[in-house]
Amino acid sequence: MWHSRSVTPVVEAWSAYRTRTATQWKPRDLVRDKGASSVSVVIPARDEEDTVGPIVRTIRRHLVDRVPLVDEIIVVDSRSRDATAQVAAAAGARVVCQDRMTRGLPRLEGKGDALWAGLAAAEGDVVAFVDADLRRFQPHFVSGLLGPLLTDQSVAFVKGFYHRPLEGSAGAERDGGGRVTELMARPLLNLFWPELAGFVQPLAGEYAGRRTVLEQVPFVSGYGVETAMLIDLLELVGLDALAQVDLGERRHRNQSTEALGRMAAQILYTAWSRLHRQGLVTTARPPTSALTQFRRGGGAEALPGLDREVVVTDVSVRERPPLARVRAVVRS
């Protein structure tokens, strides 16, 4: 229950109205609600040969073969150096190459570009996105996201949320994952887009939307894609068209603190771009995109007196335009 003094009435009402649990929908019932519409599942993957196969097999076994809820499973090979593409294809997915789907367009890096390529490749009226590094994947991760969209035409986009254990030497901390969410994304959204404060996992990699809506928003190339998507969708369709679903528990590979720092910096840069676009930042000069980090040791690369290697990363973000604007180029 929301505390009346800690959340706005708008967010409290939205959370009560638009928050559901994945287990309340049975796949067989959703097939009836689906009617003549079609569903695609897109899985962006880079060097995920250990986990992508079980994910694809689970979706195919439970939501394609046993129950015809999902019409196609697409794995976007994002320049993998391992056997991700071969494993995904053997498990029953249609594998598309990120660079092939974006040929004729500027080369971009990062997860967001793979998501955009997957949307371009998908044929479904409803498109669900699932990360490729999940362990102990369950079919309700997909059916739960589809539930609000197939049963309520006023819902345009659904975000997943879950418990995220952080496994360490002392055991697993049940909600220790999601550090970037708590330290960067949530404070930013609460400060500048308070209508989005009710989203439990704004950076969740599991979400679904109607194609007609997803094709109208740009996709940020890097790790800011989920932040930008929520902000852009809020502006495009309004809070009432957004929903969230409890998916239970999510287990995946945890990132290093250094990697999380780079992710947080990209999210901050992405937020700045939206603030500027909405006229909340008046200067046209973007912030510096160079993130300086320090790595212990470093040998010959260490700076004198620091005993640390200086690592500088470009955290600027670029974006693909809304797919609807360039569909003709992608299809050619």
pTM, to two decimals: 0.90
The whole-angstrom separation of Cα 142 and Cα 130 is: 8
The whole-angstrom separation of Cα 132 and Cα 76 is: 10
H or E element, residue 42:
strand 39-45
Q: Which amino acid is at 181?
A: T
| Per-residue pLDDT in tens (0 to 9) along the chain, 332 residues | 445 456 789 999 999 999 999 999 999 999 999 999 999 999 999 999 999 999 999 999 999 999 999 999 999 999 999 999 999 999 999 999 999 999 989 999 889 999 999 999 999 999 999 999 999 999 999 999 999 999 999 999 999 999 876 554 454 455 544 789 999 999 999 999 999 999 999 999 999 999 999 999 999 988 899 999 999 999 999 999 999 999 998 865 667 888 899 899 999 999 999 999 999 888 878 888 889 888 876 666 666 667 788 888 998 889 999 999 988 777 65
Q: How many CB atoms lie within 10 A of CB 46?
A: 19
CB-based contacts of 244: which residues, under 8 Å, 6+ apart?
Answer: 18, 19, 20, 158, 159, 160, 161, 198, 199, 200, 201
Residue 199 exposed, middle or buried by CB count within 10 Å (0-12, 13-18, 19+): buried
Count of alpha carbons within 13 Å of 76, Cβ hemisphere only?
27
The pLDDT assigned to 99 comes to: 94
The pLDDT assigned to 245 comes to: 98
